[in-house]
């Protein structure tokens, strides 16, 4: 009787361990990706009309690509990456935080908390940090399935997912003691709480108690790309971009943020580095689309002369000077080449008109 070759047997029995990372739009593990959910009425077709289409990019995508399907699909980059939350999370740790939590979670909107939204999902080897702008998202794990909230269909939204080894999560946890997030769902067993200090503090709602009220750290992704996290507590009391980021990055910044609230801060050229409010966004022709910042709830900035891009939590308005929050920046050529051309118009300093280059 033929016996199985031991090598073949091993191959047959080997079940690939699903590593916990960000997943790209074709279902492959990726080190990081950005998804830009487009505003409603951004093109022909039902999905584009109702605001369920998105653009996708990662290091190897060669710039922006049309999203594989609807942002509501669990087969796309965002849904696929978050899937472990809604399957068997017994071996995992996670924190879901949002200043506008999903309604069924029972948590309240607390405006003393940071203006910050995201997901930490990790196993014993590492996982990812998803930084995003989406209100009432993602659904709590009790929902048993990924879905995109109806309330976040109309406007543009950004999501940045970065895969990190376990060693980076204590630094991320420490940043979250500055941003002071509202955690509406979590799982953090003792084993994780010991390995990743600060996360338990964050879950319990502890925050920094003495200045300095801002903190910046370098984070290294699983594949070795460098990210810089900027985090501020409410007592920082200044705009993230004009009061810190532009100087820290040593560059002028064009900032896309939600412009439909009270107390919007005008473009600011009072310091060496200028901070300019973006008013028009356009994806490259022929596909486009182009839209106004008033249709866009996303929060990102780009150094027009390079090489920085940041995706994060904060708008430029008076209220958010007194709130926690932050942004995740990188100087990666692929990222900058994708974001730099998106800025179609901005407000010059001291003028009301919009500048179209």
Ligand X SMILES: *[C@@H]1O[C@H](CO)[C@@H](O)[C@H](O)[C@H]1NC(C)=O
Nearest to ligand X of 128, 148 (CB atom): 148
**Is residue 297 flagged as an active site residue?**
yes
User: Considering the complex, what minimum distance in angstroms separates the CB of residue 310 from ligand X?
Assistant: 15
Q: Is 214 in the site for ligand X (CB under 6 A)?
A: yes
Token code pair at residue 68: 């594989």
Q: Among 242, 251, 256, 298, indicate the residue that binds ligand X (CB under 6 A).
A: 242
Nearest C-alpha neighbor of 276 from the set 296, 295, 294, 303:
303
Only one of the segments 15-23, 175-183, 212-220, 322-330 lies at the binding site for ligand X (rule: CB under 6 A); that segment is: 212-220
Q: Is 102 in the site for ligand X (CB under 6 A)?
A: no
Backbone angles phi, psi at 200, to 5 degrees: -65, -40
Q: Is 354 in the site for ligand X (CB under 6 A)?
A: no
CA-to-CA separations, 289 to 10, 68, 148, in angstroms, rounded: 50, 16, 21
Contacts (CB under 6 A) with ligand X, residues 70-89 = 72, 88
Q: Among 19, 91, 108, 218, indicate the residue that binds ligand X (CB under 6 A).
A: 91
- Contact predicate 328/312, CB 8 Å: yes
Is 157 strand, coil or helix? strand
Site pattern 28..67 for ligand X (x: CB under 6 A): ----------------------------------------
Only one of the segments 93-101, 165-173, 295-303, 346-354 lies at the binding site for ligand X (rule: CB under 6 A); that segment is: 346-354
Burial 302-323 (b: 16+ CB within 10 A, else e): bbbeebbbbbbbbbbbeebbeb
Burial 242-272 (b: 16+ CB within 10 A, else e): bbbbbeebebbbbbbbbbeeeeebbbbeeee
Q: Is 215 in the site for ligand X (CB under 6 A)?
A: yes
Nearest to ligand X of 3, 270 (CB atom): 270
Please tell me the distance from the alpha carbon of residue 269 to that of residue 242, in angstroms, as a whole number: 9
Q: Among 24, 181, 243, 312, indicate the residue that binds ligand X (CB under 6 A).
A: 243
Q: Is 125 in the site for ligand X (CB under 6 A)?
A: no
Q: Is 189 in the site for ligand X (CB under 6 A)?
A: no
Nearest C-alpha neighbor of 210 from the set 233, 228, 190, 194:
233
Residues at the contact surface with ligand X, assessed by CB under 6 A: 72, 88, 90-91, 147-148, 150, 153, 212, 214-216, 238-239, 242-244, 268, 270, 350-352
Q: Which residues have a catalytic role annotated?
A: 297
């Amino acid at each position: 009787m033929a016996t199985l070759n031991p090598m073949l047997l091993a191959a047959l029995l080997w079940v690939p361990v699903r590593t916990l990372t960000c997943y790209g739009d074709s279902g492959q593990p990726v080190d990081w990706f950005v998804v830009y959910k487009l505003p409603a009425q951004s093109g022909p077709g039902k999905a584009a009309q109702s605001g369920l289409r998105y653009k996708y990019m990662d290091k190897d995508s060669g710039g922006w690509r049309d999203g594989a399907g609807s942002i509501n699909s669990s087969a796309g980059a965002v849904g696929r990456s978050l899937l472990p939350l809604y399957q068997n999370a017994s071996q995992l740790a996670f924190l879901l935080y949002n200043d506008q939590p999903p309604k069924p979670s029972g948590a309240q909107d607390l405006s003393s908390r940071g203006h910050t939204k995201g997901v930490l999902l990790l196993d014993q080897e590492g996982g990812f940090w998803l930084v995003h702008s989406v209100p009432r998202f993602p659904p709590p794990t009790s929902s048993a399935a990924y879905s995109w909230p109806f309330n976040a269909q109309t406007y543009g939204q950004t999501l940045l997912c970065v895969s990190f080894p376990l060693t980076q999560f204590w630094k991320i946890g420490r940043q979250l003691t500055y941003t002071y997030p509202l955690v509406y769902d979590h799982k953090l067993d003792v084993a994780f709480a010991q390995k990743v200090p600060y996360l338990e503090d964050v879950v319990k709602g502890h925050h920094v108690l003495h200045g300095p009220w801002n903190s910046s750290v370098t984070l290294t992704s699983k594949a070795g790309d460098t990210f810089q996290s900027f985090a501020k507590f409410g007592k920082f009391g200044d705009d993230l971009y004009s009061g810190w980021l532009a100087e820290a990055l040593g560059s002028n910044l064009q900032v896309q943020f939600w412009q439909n609230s009270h107390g919007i801060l005008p473009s600011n050229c009072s310091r060496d580095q200028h901070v300019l409010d973006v008013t028009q966004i356009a994806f490259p022709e022929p596909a486009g689309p182009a839209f106004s910042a008033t249709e866009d709830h996303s929060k990102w900035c780009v150094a027009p002369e390079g090489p920085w891009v940041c995706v994060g939590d904060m708008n430029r308005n008076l209220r958010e000077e007194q709130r926690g929050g932050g942004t995740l920046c990188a100087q990666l050529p692929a990222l900058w080449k994708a974001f730099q051309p998106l800025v179609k118009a901005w407000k010059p300093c001291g003028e009301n008109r919009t500048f179209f280059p």
